[in-house]
Amino acid sequence: MLSDAQKRDFAENGYLLVEDAVSPDQLAELRRLTYDYIEGSRTVSESNALYDLDRGHSAATPRLTRVKVPHKQNPYFWDVLRNSRMTQVLNDLLGPDTMILTSKLNTKAPGGGRAVEWHQDWAFYPHTNDDLLAFGLMLEDVTEDNGPLMVIPGSHRGPVLSHNLNDVFAGAVDPDDPDFHRDRAVTLTGKAGSMTVHHVRTLHGSAPNLSDRNRLILFYELASADAWPLLGSNSYFHRLSQAELWQDVQARTVTGAPCLTPRLEQVPVRLPLPPASDVSSIFRTQESAGAKSAFT
């Protein structure tokens, strides 16, 4: 599906914008499910295994930051990943054998929905190689004013910046870090059905949602099957028994087959340790560690 030029752009810049990543029918169903979740959140007063609530959330005015792991909440989110143009993009960039790490449905609330401070996904879950990426499927039009994804081109080919503050892993870079070049940032907007793709080492973040509309983006974090997580990375994998891990690996296979011969590459690594006091989400990690904001 991707042209050779698009593949070269991704290798050079560490990001892409792909239009019409799903069919109109798939987009409509994903949107319907999302608004059902938002409506269902009216009965919830605290963040739980399904919802990550934003400040000011109430039954009268639901305000969410995220619906957690949607591909495990409803099989349709899994089916779309495996049977859409997204699947073709995945194989074009990572090869035939691919795995999912996690998914998240970010529902940044209108009127100031929470920012995600600048970070590299690689800082959270380093692997034996860096053939990992994230898809961000826009379920509604994303504009400049509703907290779109921002990336720094070429940063995936640079260093892994420190994400630590106050002696803990804060899940965000220091805005004053000399290797953080905020002035080079590119903003990724698009029509519903468009998809951002960013490399696992690409620096990215998103400002608060200042519009009167939810910013709805479905994220999938994905890896080549020969990339295996390092001990100490921010994942549940290391808590599984050998049998449970094998079941988990099979269940997370998106295309092709699992790989039992990890590919080891000379890639820069920092482990996300010591942990912050609350690591239940990136929002809680950044907040509990006192991460400095680049958006104020």
CA distances, 200 to each of 45, 114, 270 (Å): 33, 22, 13
Q: Which phi and psi (to 5°) does residue 44 adopt?
A: -110, 135
For every residue of 116-174, DSSP letters joined together read: EEEE-HHHHS-BSS--EEEEEEESS-B-TTS--EEE-TTGGGS-----EETTEE-SS--
For every residue of 239-295, DSSP letters joined together read: GS-HHHHHHHHHHTEEES---SSPPP---------SPPS--SSHHHHHHHTTPPPS-
**How many helices (H) and strands (E) are present in the chain, helices listed first?**
8, 14
Contacts of 240 (CB under 8 A, 6+ apart): 248
Q: Which helix (H) or strand (E) holds 90?
A: helix 85-94
- Whose structure tokens read 């639901």? 62
Q: What is the DSSP letter of 26?
A: H
**CA–CA distance, 186 with 189 (Å, rounded to integer):** 10
**What's residue 181's pLDDT?**
96
> What does the pLDDT look like over 62-82, one tens digit per residue?
999 999 999 999 999 999 999
> What does the pLDDT look like over 157-203, one tens digit per residue?
999 999 999 999 999 999 999 999 999 999 999 999 999 999 999 99
In the numeric block, which tokens belong to residue 268? 């820069």
Counting Cβ atoms within 10 Å, is residue 10 exposed (0-12), middle (13-18) or buried (19+)? buried
% of the chain at pLDDT higher than 70: 100
**What's residue 140's pLDDT?**
97
Counting Cβ atoms within 10 Å, is residue 206 exposed (0-12), middle (13-18) or buried (19+)? buried
Q: What is the mean pLDDT of residues 208-222?
A: 94
Contacts of 222 (CB under 8 A, 6+ apart): 90, 94, 98, 99, 100, 101, 132, 133, 134, 135, 254
> What does the pLDDT look like over 87-100, one tens digit per residue?
999 999 999 999 99
**Is pLDDT above 90 for 263?**
yes
Residue from 58, 67, 54, 68 nearest 112 by CA:
54
Report the 10 Å Cβ neighbour count for 50: 15
**Is pLDDT above 80 for 257?**
yes
- Whose structure tokens read 């920012």? 115
The top-level CATH class assigned to 4-288 is mainly beta
- pLDDT band of residue 151 (cuts 50, 70, 90) is very high
**CA–CA distance, 96 with 93 (Å, rounded to integer):** 9
**What's residue 82's pLDDT?**
98
Residue from 122, 84, 103, 101 nearest 225 by CA:
101
Q: What is the mean pLDDT of residues 2-30?
A: 98
**Is pLDDT above 90 for 234?**
no
